[in-house]
């Protein structure tokens, strides 16, 4: 019995020893694999951390650059003038040149160009800005290319408009008030005396019906004066988020949809609409040369068409400004534009 029992034990022991010998290489391979996996995960974690740190550092550098430019360009009460520019509009002899020329030939507008920041949407527009203007900021947007002319309501156009709203919200959060102006607006007179006092958000109109508080007025997002405060910061966040509520619409249409939203009452945003007698455009011209501050090539499609008619506006304006003072005071000229834009 003992012998049998001993034989049995020896047989079982030999079987266990053989099994352990067979599995020992597998254990080593498993341990090795887990070790390599752990090292790989650690490397990937470090790479992700470095990437994240790089992105945060890049973002920090961008914010610091923007802060520097805003500070250098700001007038009293931390107010700046902003416009956006892409390559198509920056070409010599195009919209950008007419825009800058208007500041030189306008009435008391020459010094305002010192407060103007050009937000370039692509590298070539930024290079052109740096060559001729002191305050240029490159708005880099990953995965988007705004170089060519963005046709009205195209996918690129919508992306550009919403990127603009997002950026303007950032400027407000940084504590800066601004006048935003499209580059297809010529500045003929200093607009600041015509802005309403103690108003958070004021905007030009395609069509103005006589009452600055009437929300039936048809706003145009190409010209706004916005004061930086808690209300406007909340409003721009709400405006930007509303692109998802009303997909496929540009910022101006969405503004029309949300201007009566209860949220604006809740945050107590004070909004006013600017009279086209002072802030006119081709939709509704400012007819009085003695009142006009800005003229916008709105209700007009195509870069060449805008350039043609804005040149005529500046020609008419320069002729008016060249009149002797007594004759100018009595003059009541009419605009020859729009011409091509009206067709």
pLDDT one-digit tens code per residue, 85-133: 999 899 999 999 999 999 999 999 999 999 999 999 899 999 999 999 9
Residue 58 vs residues 20, 92, 245: alpha-carbon distances, Å: 56, 32, 31
Please check whether residues 62 and 39 belong to one and the same domain: no
Please check whether residues 43 and 96 belong to one and the same domain: no
| Residue indicated by tokens 């047989």 | 11
> Which pair of tokens denotes residue 330?
């009595």
Do 207 and 118 contact (CB within 8 A), yes or no? no
Q: Determine how β-strand 185-187 pairs with β-strand 218-226.
A: unpaired
> Which pair of tokens denotes residue 64?
């610091």
Residue 220 vs residues 123, 298, 330: alpha-carbon distances, Å: 28, 9, 32
Do 156 and 143 contact (CB within 8 A), yes or no? no
Please check whether residues 229 and 294 belong to one and the same domain: yes
Do 226 and 82 contact (CB within 8 A), yes or no? no
Please check whether residues 147 and 63 belong to one and the same domain: yes
Do 88 and 147 contact (CB within 8 A), yes or no? yes
Global confidence as pTM: 0.79
Label residue 147 by pLDDT band (50, 70, 90). Answer: very low
What dihedral angle (degrees, nearest 10) is formed by the CA atoms of 144, 148, 153, 154?
-60
Distance CA 191, CA 204 (A): 12
How much is the mean pLDDT over the chain?
Answer: 84
Distance CA 336, CA 309 (A): 9
**109 by DSSP, 3-state: which?**
coil
Distance CA 177, CA 224 (A): 11
Please check whether residues 14 and 61 belong to one and the same domain: no
Distance CA 272, CA 215 (A): 8
**28 by DSSP, 3-state: which?**
helix
Please check whether residues 41 and 79 belong to one and the same domain: no
Please check whether residues 120 and 185 belong to one and the same domain: yes
Domain count, the chain: 2
Between 155-173 and 251-258, two packed helices, what is the crossing angle to 10 degrees? 60
DSSP 196: P
Please check whether residues 72 and 139 belong to one and the same domain: yes
Distance CA 144, CA 2 (A): 86
Q: What is the pLDDT of residue 63?
A: 85
Answer whether residue 6 shows pLDDT above 70: no
Phi, psi of 15 (to 5 degrees): -65, -45
Please check whether residues 44 and 66 belong to one and the same domain: no
Please check whether residues 273 and 129 belong to one and the same domain: yes
Longest CA pairwise span in the chain (Å):
138
Please check whether residues 317 and 247 belong to one and the same domain: yes
Distance CA 298, CA 342 (A): 10
| Residue indicated by tokens 């540009």 | 250
For 32-46, 68-82, 237-251, which range has the lowest pLDDT when averaged over its residues? 32-46
Q: How far from the centroid of its chain's Cα atoms is residue 43's Cα?
A: 38
Do 162 and 84 contact (CB within 8 A), yes or no? no
Percent of the chain with pLDDT strictly greater than 70: 77
Task: Give the domain extent around 17.
Answer: 1-48
pLDDT tens for 183-235 read 999 999 999 999 999 999 999 999 999 999 999 999 999 999 999 999 999 99
pLDDT tens for 10-22 read 333 444 444 444 4
Do 120 and 85 contact (CB within 8 A), yes or no? yes
Please check whether residues 204 and 309 belong to one and the same domain: yes
Distance CA 274, CA 212 (A): 6
CATH of the domain at 107: 3.90.550.10
| Residue indicated by tokens 């694999």 | 33
DSSP 75: B
């Amino acid at each position: 019995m003992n012998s049998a029992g001993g034989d049995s034990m020896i047989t079982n022991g030999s079987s266990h020893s053989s099994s352990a010998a067979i599995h020992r290489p597998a254990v080593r391979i498993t341990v090795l694999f887990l070790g390599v996996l752990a090292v790989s995960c650690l490397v990937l974690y470090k790479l992700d951390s470095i990437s994240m740190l790089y992105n945060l550092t890049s973002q920090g550098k961008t914010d610091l650059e923007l802060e520097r430019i805003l500070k250098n360009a700001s007038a009293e009460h931390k107010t700046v003038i902003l416009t956006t520019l892409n390559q198509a509009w920056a070409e010599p002899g195009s919209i950008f040149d007419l825009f800058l020329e208007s500041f030189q030939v306008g009435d008391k507008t020459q010094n305002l160009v010192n407060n103007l920041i050009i937000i370039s949407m692509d590298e070539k527009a930024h290079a052109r800005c740096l060559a001729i203007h002191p305050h240029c900021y490159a708005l880099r947007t990953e995965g988007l290319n705004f170089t060519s002319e963005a046709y009205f309501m195209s996918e690129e156009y919508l992306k550009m408009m919403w990127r603009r709203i997002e950026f303007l919200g950032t400027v407000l959060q940084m504590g800066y008030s601004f006048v935003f102006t499209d580059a297809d607006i010529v500045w003929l007179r200093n607009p600041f005396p015509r802005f309403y006092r103690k108003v958070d958000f004021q905007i030009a109109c395609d069509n103005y019906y006589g009452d600055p508080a009437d929300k039936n007025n048809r706003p145009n997002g190409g010209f706004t004066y916005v004061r930086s405060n808690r209300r406007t910061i909340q409003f721009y966040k709400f405006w930007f988020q509303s692109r998802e509520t009303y997909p496929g619409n540009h910022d101006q249409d969405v503004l029309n949809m949300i201007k009566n939203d209860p949220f604006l009452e809740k945050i107590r945003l004070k909004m006013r609409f600017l009279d086209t007698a002072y802030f006119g455009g081709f939709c509704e011209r400012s007819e009085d040369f003695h009142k006009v501050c800005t003229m916008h090539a709105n209700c007009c499609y195509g870069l060449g068409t805008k350039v043609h008619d804005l040149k005529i506006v500046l020609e008419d304006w320069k002729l008016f400004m060249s009149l002797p003072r007594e004759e100018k005071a009595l003059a009541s000229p009419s605009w020859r534009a729009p011409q091509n834009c009206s067709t």
